[in-house]
Structure 1
Amino acid sequence: MVAWTDYKAVARDRGALAFEVFVAESTPQKSPEEVKAVLPDHLAYVKGLETSGKLMLAGPLSDDSGEEMQGAGMLVFRAASINEARELAENDPMHKSEARTFRLRKWLINEGSLSITAGLSSGHIVIS
């Protein structure tokens, strides 16, 4: 097993981006009605994170078939540490209310391409 700091260095040495973000997979723990009751506060919270630059991406996940939305979701945070990302996830009204729980992991983004920066709920777009 390779230590995280060593893995980042190896990735950078081979020309990869090695951009670190944190992914919270959020799963429902209460009834759909109880989850839905917290939705307005959750959406306001994630919009605030988006505006502050702490939220990269968020949204629901499908089941394994890709056909049905099953209630799971994912949030991708920009944070200085896993502890900061954990605090962001813990402060989400969905998690504070225990309507949902989360699993948090680091994600080292190495490859891919992006051509725009878009605030998905605010409509703010920068083309560069």
Structure 2
Amino acid sequence: MSDAAGPDSVPVADVMEASRGMLQKQLYAIATTPTNGLATVFAHMEAHLAFQVELERKGIMFAAGPIWTDDEQSWRGEGLVIIRAASRQEAAAIAAEDPMHKAGARSFTVRPWMVNEGSLTVRLDFSKGKFSIS
């Protein structure tokens, strides 16, 4: 969609300059979608989750999980994976190694994502030996 007041896109350098002083953490968002129904997704779920946990262990994984339908009542097999990588090409190579993608149960797209704003709160209750993240 074109904006009459300006261009459809601007160089990344302009965005970086406009957000100078913010986090500017480059991550990569992998959107994953079933290719042939949920049966094939579930057939590869255990290997997929083991792969995800390994990415987490190596410090590659930032966050991941299923994407619910808009009414928040069901799941159509879609997921979102946010990873740390040196480039989009490296992120795509990591995504291609996911057993879910290798088996053809899901397809994926990779988009560079720069984190500027937000917060993360970790609460540790010593007396209960529990923590929460919000």
The TM-score, its normalising length taken from structure 2, stands at 0.80
Please give the root-mean-square deviation of Cα atoms over the aligned residues, in Å.
Answer: 1.7
Secondary structure (helix, strand or coil) at the match of 1:16 reads: coil
Hey, which bits of structure 1, 4+ residues long, moved more than 6 A?
A: none
> 2:118 maps to what in 1?
112
- Whether 1:103 and 2:114 are equivalent positions in the alignment is no
Cα offset for 1:10?
2.7
User: What is the identity, as a one-letter code, of the residue corresponding to 2:107?
Assistant: T
- Whether 1:50 and 2:56 are equivalent positions in the alignment is yes
Change (3 A) 1:112 1:88: same
User: What is the identity, as a one-letter code, of the residue corresponding to 1:8?
Assistant: M
Question: Structure 2 stretches of 5 or more lacking a match?
Answer: 1-8, 123-130
Secondary structure (helix, strand or coil) at the match of 2:48 reads: helix
Aligned pairs (5 A) from 1:1-128: 1-12=9-20, 15-116=21-122
CA distance in 1, matches of 2:64, 2:27: 13
Q: Could you say which structure has the higher helix fraction?
A: 1
Secondary structure (helix, strand or coil) at the match of 1:27 reads: strand
Secondary structure (helix, strand or coil) at the match of 2:29 reads: strand
| Structure with larger Rg | 2
CA deviations 1:72-122 (Å, max 9, x no partner) are 100000111111111111110111111000111111111111134xxxxxx
CA deviations 1:35-87 (Å, max 9, x no partner) are 11111111111111000000111110011222222211000001111111111
The TM-score, its normalising length taken from structure 1, stands at 0.83
User: What is the identity, as a one-letter code, of the residue corresponding to 2:92?
Assistant: R
What is the percentage of aligned positions where both structures have the same residue? Answer: 38
Secondary structure (helix, strand or coil) at the match of 2:44 reads: helix
Cα offset for 1:6?
3.4
CA distance in 1, matches of 2:101, 2:108: 7
Question: Structure 1 stretches of 5 or more lacking a match?
Answer: 117-124
User: What is the identity, as a one-letter code, of the residue corresponding to 2:111?
Assistant: R
